[in-house]
């Protein structure tokens, strides 16, 4: 398996995770990001995932090669000190240019097993959004989560009335989930700032929303 590396040093690797690949094996097994761990480090312990991405989300995924940076990263994620920026193409034409969604999320049974839902009894969940481009029937958003709940961006977009394009669970099944973990800034010393290019599956929709052709990033 070949997963592109966006950044690497002796302590941390940032992968460009492809959409459709789980970060770790599920109950039934199957391919996952962890399959390449042996190629990232020959140390007796590690590597370790510093955080998670949904299987259908592409982009920046952080792997710690040593225990000390893992603990620092886990603390930074828990404290909300890691800056995460996502790109999404959503269904519908979003009104306004920017805003914040504050809607608690809870896990519920679903015909597919489980899903997350907005519920007053759920955990606090906050997402800032900004419009980057538009076309008829679709909007290109920059999403910045202040919290890190499971499926937060997917649930919040659907709650706003504009589910992410291709989201079969919270919207309409289609050409794959149009969600990219675009940028991550890790508060280490020195600071690590990494950006992921959009996957090919998103390029056409982004171009329709106004992203200029020929740009790698």
Give me the sign of the Cα torsion angle 134, 138, 140, 145: positive
Q: Give the three-class secondary structure for 12.
A: strand
Catalytic residue among 54, 119, 189, 193: 54
Residue 214 domain-assigned? no
Whether 170 maps to a domain, the answer reads yes
User: To which H or E segment does residue 90 belong?
Assistant: strand 83-91
User: What confidence tens digit (pLDDT) does each residue in 150-177 have?
Assistant: 999 999 999 999 999 999 999 998 889 9
Query: 172-186: per-residue pLDDT in tens?
Result: 988 899 999 999 999
Q: How far apart are CA 133 and CA 212, in angstroms?
A: 11
Tell whether 171 is covered by a domain. yes
User: Could you give the angle at the alpha carbon of 108 between the alpha carbons of 53 and 130, nearest 5°?
Assistant: 45
Task: Tell me, yes or no, whether 216 lies in a domain.
Answer: no
Q: Would residue 215 count as lying in a domain? A: no
Catalytic-residue membership of 54: yes
pLDDT digits (tens, 9 = 90+) for 23-69: 998 777 789 999 999 999 888 788 999 999 999 999 999 999 999 99
* Number of helical (H) and strand (E) elements in the chain, helices listed first: 4, 12
Number of domains forming the structure of the chain? 1
Mean pLDDT of the region 117-135 = 97
Query: Is 159 part of any domain?
Result: yes
Q: Which domain CATH number covers 64?
A: 3.30.2350.10
Domain range spanning residue 116? 5-208
pTM, rounded to two decimals:
0.94
Whether pLDDT at 217 is above 60: no
Q: Is residue 200 domain-resident?
A: yes
């Amino acid at each position: 398996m070949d997963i592109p590396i966006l950044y690497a040093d002796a302590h941390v690797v940032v992968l460009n995770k492809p959409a459709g690949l789980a970060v770790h094996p599920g109950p039934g097994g199957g391919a996952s990001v962890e399959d390449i761990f042996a190629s990232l480090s020959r140390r007796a312990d590690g590597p370790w995932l510093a955080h998670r991405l949904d299987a259908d989300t592409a982009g920046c995924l952080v792997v710690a090669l040593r225990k000390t940076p893992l603990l620092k990263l886990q603390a930074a994620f828990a404290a909300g000190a890691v800056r995460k920026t996502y790109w999404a193409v959503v269904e519908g034409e979003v009104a306004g240019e920017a805003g914040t969604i504050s809607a608690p999320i809870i896990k519920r049974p679903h015909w597919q097993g489980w899903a997350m839902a907005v519920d007053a009894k759920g955990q606090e969940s906050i997402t800032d959004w900004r419009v980057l481009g538009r076309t008829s029937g679709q909007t290109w958003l920059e999403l910045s989560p202040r919290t890190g709940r499971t499926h937060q961006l997917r649930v919040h977009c659907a709650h706003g009335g504009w589910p992410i394009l291709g989201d079969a669970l919270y919207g309409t099944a289609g050409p794959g989930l149009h969600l990219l973990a675009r940028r991550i800034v890790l508060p280490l010393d020195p600071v690590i700032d990494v950006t992921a290019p959009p996957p090919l599956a998103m390029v056409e929709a982004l171009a329709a929303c106004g992203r200029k052709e020929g740009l790698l990033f």
